Structure 1
Amino acid sequence: MAADIDRELPGLSDRERRRVLEERLREQAAAERALAAAQEEADRERQAADAAEAARQALPCQDCGLAQSAELCEACGYRRTEAAIVEAGLVAAIWSAAGEGLDQEPGGASRHLPQGGVALPLGRVHQPEQAPPAGPAQETESEWCRRTT
């Protein structure tokens, strides 16, 4: 560092040279302390995360109670995944079946469903976040519910 000062600031007196050197040494020491503190903080955070993960891993399975399963053992996780896939298939099948034939007007003419619209029984079209239109030839959803229940 002294050679750097001599190269950067030629012609300094010994006293000035010593002052600049001490200042740079103080700056370097402060930077090293800050780096060490940041590394210690990162180590503490990593240790805390490791401890939290170890505690989570020690928990039993929520479904079957198997110890050391991190709240869900492999078998129960597989079962849940399989059940979710089956449920998604059933929902898709229900929506598909509910929509069959509802895009046709009486007499076979095709009716255009609005984008995002869902065909409902009685040939009504329901727009999400909108009330179904009520007219003389159509029932409102609440009227249909009252009549059919």
Structure 2
Amino acid sequence: MERTTVNDTAKAPAAAFTGDVYVTPIKKAEPPSRLIASLVRFTPGARTHWHSHAGGQTLHVTEGIGYVAGRDGQVIRMRAGDTVWTPPGEEHWHGGTSTTCMSHIAMLEGTDDSDGTTWLEPVTDEQYTAAHQQR
């Protein structure tokens, strides 16, 4: 058994996020475990770029309201307490609404040599706005 102290929060990189997003690492992959977990905080209008995960991803919302959307047009409105699973390889994005912050714990499994995330292009303003209209 081991207790770790709180890790420093850092601004998420503009190469993978739009707007102001802050990440606090919770768990790094340390063999034999491949679990990676982070607390991610999105300000209003902030979101990830399109991306996918080799082993899928679980998002557990801790505060606020936000969206997760897939390439197939499916949009899930998430609230505090909700948990959403995106399967391996599914291209998606997630973030806060245009008027509210949203925080979630992001959990995924890394691979032997990376965190298993494939980052793609930014979500356009039109795609982001369309998610709001699918309430």
Normalising by the residue count of structure 2, what TM-score does the alignment of the two structures yield?
A: 0.21
Greater strand share, structure number? 2
Normalising by the residue count of structure 1, what TM-score does the alignment of the two structures yield?
A: 0.20
Instruction: Flag the structure with larger Rg.
Output: 1
Q: Which is bigger in relative contact order (C-alpha 8 A, separation at least 6)?
A: 2
